[in-house]
Amino acid sequence: MKRYIRAFRAKTVASLLLGGAVGIGFCAQTATAETAQLGGTLDFVVAGEAPSKDGHRETTYAIVHPYAPFYSLLIRVNPDNPQSSDFVCDLCVGGVPEPTNGGKTFTFRIKEGVKFHDGTPLTARDVKATYDRIVFPPEGVPSARKAFFNMVDSVEAPDDTTVVFNLKFASGAFLPALATPFNWIYSKKDLDEHGYDWHRDNVNGSGPFKFVQHQPGAFVEGVRNDDYHHAGQPHLDGFKAIIAKKMSVRIQAIRGNRAAIEFRGFPPKARDDLVNALGDKLRVQESDWNCVLLFTSNHARKPFDDPRVRRALTLAVDRWGGSKYLSRIAIVKTVGGVVFPGHPLAASEEELVQLAGYGRDIEASRAEARRLLEEAGATDLTIDYNNRDVDQPYKVVGTWLIDQWAKVGVKAEQHVRPTPQFYAALRKSHEFDVSIDFNCQSVINPIADVTKFLGSSGNNYGQYDDQVLEEIYGKLARAPTEDEQRALMRQYEKRALDEMAHMGISLWWYKINPHRSYVKGWNIAPSHYLNQQLDNVWIDKSLM
Amino acid sequence: MATPQAFIDTGELDELKNPLGERLWSLARKQPLGTAGALVVVVMAFAATFASFLTPYDPVVNSLEDMLTPPNAEFAMGTDEFGRDILTRVLFGARTALFIGLVAAFLGATIGLVLGVASAYFGGLFDLIVQRIVDVFLAFPLIIMALAVVATLGPGVENVIIAITVPFIPQCARVVRSSALSIREIPYVDAARALGYSHARIILRHMAPNVMAPFLIMLTYFVGQAILLEAVLSYLGMGVQDPTPAWGLMLKGGAEEFLESAPWLSIFPGLAITLAVFGFNLFGDALRDMLDPKLRSR
């Protein structure tokens, strides 16, 4: 089993190197040479309002950015090097433990003396109660990432400082799942006394900042937790997360120094405008982004139950050309398959060009698309096309896809819907032929991330059941070596994107974070969910 | 005692004698602003009708290699973020604006006309109920009403037309009713009743034609307002959907994002909206001046 763990670690080191090459290459910050200064309040802008305050049930960055600083995790992605999947302890002691029992048992020692913000001591029993709520939620209690933990058999807390995770089978996906930034440790007392809905409206964590107030539609405010369990942190006196839905407002907030940073990401033009306006008062960090925009066909509607029609749609899309131009106007850039580009399990360019719609000769692809449509009796096809009313990158890529399909004679009637109605169309009414879809993950964990393409997955909206794909995934999830995982991943990719063309991938996102240069200690991650506790962030007053 | 000539407007007789060109010139001198408005309307209608012949480009096909080109000899108004010619989209946008504007204004004004005349004709409880309902609708600003309708029905051209039509109906009904109330008292309406004509015939054949002046004024005013409302709804993402060329839609998204680096994205559709609304309003004002006997004599 150590071979399994070694294989996983080898992948993470490789992804560190590859991801770092992109991300750190752009990071002008070198926090290592500087001494963190104490004090100051960090004002940052957030594009959306959190639907609730409960991280266990929510999936949006709009909750992570303002509320993650109030909480601790058991383990987390290294805040000093978030480009990697290099996990470090947050509430546990020492390093992330090696598994025992053939990779099926993980034993964590919990820090002593940690307190929740209400003064209650944090023990292993709180960690167990938290993971019981996430992994084994009672019926009716939502847990957005329950499926990440399908390998977990039980969680035990034999004493106040020990937590044991017993797995059903060894899995390289366990530690990344554990480090997911939504797994905030709640107090057992709160869960027992107030129930599972209490955290929707209340905050009681053990993180670097204490909750002060939430003004709906305006801001969330936090103040330094003097009892924080990482010595010498946090550096800031507090923070204010200012809610600003319009991107132009967020850009102007940074430009006018009403906010120092926005953690999700801006498009290239906004970066250029800010750089031109602010010069050396601005720093820009960039990274590949563990987010991909997809288009999902509704297999329950004709003629999208026909793989030839679905293949035609993916064959029509010029991904290489799109990457070249769209990367100038949108937060997308990288051409890739089902796995985060650059990861050892991701397809190489030579492998990618073998897939439908990834060939370098777009005219040949489109000729094949027209032939398939004709063969399927679907010429003059008009698509009921569902899109989300968010400019970046949904509407930009959505409009580009309409043009791509038009080139093979397919007309798309776009219905741009606000987020709740967009999700309602995907999840409940299924009123679409083809819909923009996405797969955004936090910790890079390809074996878990690619479940999006399974018909049985909770976040798959294609309404299909492909047992061949399920079987390939079953083998992939248990494959012990990287070589085997890689080979199975290619089979999986070929089946999902080419043979059955269940979904089409457009482009992977590209993260651009321009921020005031006085913000120090924050390093860009390949996800807008990661590295948001802000305990290592500080303000360089000499640059203000 | 006044001579018979005193009852004849000699200006009207002159107009009847003069050829069309001279009459138009005379009208242009009397109503320079109205003429300017009419010219804008005519140019817009021409652009909308012959858009396909006026430009070599397609309004929806992307040309990414030309993205964000500033105005030049090849692209008179520059290109947008998808490389689409802005002039072409402005011309085709006129088609969208005029189609929605004319249909919504005509429907709103016509339904309002019938409702207003009927309300005045029947009077009593019917008038009371109709006018209280009209009061409720008039209590809301146009844009709020339109937003409420489109939020219920969803975006799209047909729903935008409905959303714009609904708030126009009570506005027209109220104005027309006030004119129709005086017409109701004229003896020929009683005569029509005495002849046994149906209510519908009296309303549509005898009363409605006599309130055409306020109707036409409202109609032209509504077209300008409808164009503006369509632009607002599209700008808010609740109207026409991309890639359909529509002025309001052109102002949002890319135009906002590239306001600084590519201002032509927002300047030209913004100008088109301003000119169109301005043109229809001036034209409507002039029409009111011509059709209202009190204002005509000034």
Distance CA A486, CA A347 (A): 9
**Stretch B196-201: mean pLDDT:** 89
Q: Do B64 and A321 touch (CB under 8 A)?
A: yes
Q: Do B257 and A267 touch (CB under 8 A)?
A: yes
Q: Do A415 and B155 touch (CB under 8 A)?
A: yes
CB-CB contact of A506 with A401 (8 Å): yes
Nearest chain A Cα distance for residue B258, angstroms? 7
Residue ranges of chain A with per-residue pLDDT less than 50: 1-32
State the pLDDT confidence band at B253, using cuts at 50, 70 and 90.
low
Distance CA A170, CA A101 (A): 9
Q: Do A247 and B154 touch (CB under 8 A)?
A: no
Q: Do A329 and B260 touch (CB under 8 A)?
A: no
H helix runs in B31-156, sequence order: 32-49, 51-54, 86-122, 124-138, 142-153
CB-CB contact of B147 with B156 (8 Å): no
Q: Mutate which of B82, B157, B233, B257 to disrupt the A interface (most A C-beta within 10 Å)? A: B257
Cβ contacts (< 8 Å) between A324 and chain B: which residues? 64
CB-CB contact of A3 with A484 (8 Å): no
- Residues sharing a CB contact under 8 Å with residue A270, sequence separation 6 or more, in sequence order: A247, A251, A512, A514, B257
Tell me: the pLDDT tens digits for B95-117? 999 999 999 999 999 999 999 99
Cβ contacts (< 8 Å) between A325 and chain B: which residues? 64-65, 67
Cβ contacts (< 8 Å) between A406 and chain B: which residues? 60-61
What is the per-residue pLDDT for A7? 42
Nearest chain A Cα distance for residue B141, angstroms? 23
Chain A CB within 8 Å of residue B254 CB: yes
Please name the residue of chain A whose CA is at the shortest distance from the CA of residue B82. Answer: A400
Q: How distant, in Å, are the alpha carbons of A27, A210, A322, A411, B88 from that of B76? A: 41, 57, 26, 29, 9
Please name the residue of chain B whose CA is at the shortest distance from the CA of residue A404. Answer: B62
Q: Do B253 and A416 touch (CB under 8 A)?
A: no
Strand order in the sheet with A105-109: A105-109, A162-167, A152-159
What is the per-residue pLDDT for B72? 95
Average pLDDT, chain B: 86
Instruction: Single out the residue of B32, B97, B109, B105 nearest to residue B283, CA to CA.
Output: B32
Count of other CB atoms within 10 angstroms of residue B17: 8
Q: Is the pLDDT of residue B190 over 80?
A: yes
What is the per-residue pLDDT for B73? 93
Burial of A365 (0-12, 13-18, 19+ CB in 10 A): buried
**Minimal Cβ distance to A328: which of B60, B67, B243:** B67
Q: Is the pLDDT of residue B206 over 90?
A: no
Q: Do A403 and B261 touch (CB under 8 A)?
A: no
Chain B CB within 8 Å of residue A414 CB: yes
Count of other CB atoms within 10 angstroms of residue A100: 12
Please name the residue of chain B whose CA is at the shortest distance from the CA of residue A401. Answer: B62
Chain A CB within 8 Å of residue B155 CB: yes
Chain B CB within 8 Å of residue A329 CB: yes
Q: Do B256 and A248 touch (CB under 8 A)?
A: yes
Check whether the bond before A303 is cis (ω within 30° of 0).
Answer: yes
SS3 content of chain A, % helix, strand, coil (to 5): 35, 20, 45
Chain B CB within 8 Å of residue A270 CB: yes
Amino acid residing at A381:
L
CB-CB contact of A397 with A332 (8 Å): yes
Distance CA A466, CA A487 (A): 19
**Minimal Cβ distance to A329: which of B61, B65, B81:** B81
What is the longest distance spanned by two Cα atoms in chain B?
Answer: 82
Q: CB-hemisphere CA count at 13 Å for B212?
A: 7
What is the per-residue pLDDT for B14? 57
What is the set of domains in chain A, with CATH numbers?
A: 34-264+528-543 (3.40.190.10), 288-510 (3.10.105.10)
Nearest chain B Cα distance for residue A406, angstroms? 8
Lowest mean pLDDT among A435-444, A471-480, B68-77, B285-294: B285-294
Cβ contacts (< 8 Å) between A326 and chain B: which residues? 64
Nearest chain B Cα distance for residue A350, angstroms? 26
**Minimal Cβ distance to A325: which of B64, B154, B260:** B64
What is the per-residue pLDDT for A9? 47
Q: Do B82 and A400 touch (CB under 8 A)?
A: yes
**Minimal Cβ distance to B261: which of A246, A269, A413:** A269
H helix runs in A307-464, sequence order: 307-315, 319-326, 349-352, 362-375, 396-406, 419-424, 446-449
List beta partners, residue A296.
Answer: A435, A503
Strands A411-417 and A152-159: unpaired
Chain B CB within 8 Å of residue A325 CB: yes
What is the per-residue pLDDT for A26? 44
Q: Is the pLDDT of residue B66 over 90?
A: yes
Structure tokens of A213? 């107030």
Cβ contacts (< 8 Å) between B242 and chain A: which residues? 395, 398-399, 402, 414, 416
**Minimal Cβ distance to A395: which of B65, B68, B242:** B242
H helix runs in A48-178, sequence order: 61-67, 124-135, 174-178
What is the per-residue pLDDT for B79? 95
CB-CB contact of A62 with A258 (8 Å): no
What is the per-residue pLDDT for A18? 44
What is the per-residue pLDDT for A418? 81
CB-CB contact of A360 with A353 (8 Å): yes
Tell me: the pLDDT tens digits for B134-173? 999 999 888 888 888 888 887 788 889 999 999 999 999 9
What is the per-residue pLDDT for A457? 81
Count of other CB atoms within 10 angstroms of residue B29: 9
Instruction: Single out the residue of A381, A344, A296 nearest to residue A487, CA to CA.
Output: A344
Q: Do B257 and A414 touch (CB under 8 A)?
A: no
CB-CB contact of B202 with B121 (8 Å): yes
Cβ contacts (< 8 Å) between B68 and chain A: which residues? 329
CB-CB contact of A393 with A327 (8 Å): no
Distance CA A182, CA A543 (A): 33
Tokens 């670690």 appear where? A9
Domain spanning B82-296: CATH 3.90.120.10: no
Q: Residues of A numbered 383-412 whose beta carbons fall under 8 angstroms of chain B's beta carbons: which are they?
A: 389, 391, 395-396, 398-400, 402-403, 406
H helix runs in A27-143, sequence order: 61-67, 124-135
DSSP secondary structure string, A202-254? Answer: -----SSEEEEEEETTTEEEEEE-TT-SSTT---SSEEEEEE--SHHHHHHHH
Chain A CB within 8 Å of residue B122 CB: no
Distance CA A537, CA A39 (A): 10
Chain A CB within 8 Å of residue B190 CB: no
Q: Mutate which of B150, B259, B260, B266 to disrupt the A interface (most A C-beta within 10 Å)? A: B260
**Stretch B71-80: mean pLDDT:** 94
Chain A CB within 8 Å of residue B153 CB: no
Cα of B151 vs its chain's centroid, Å:
23
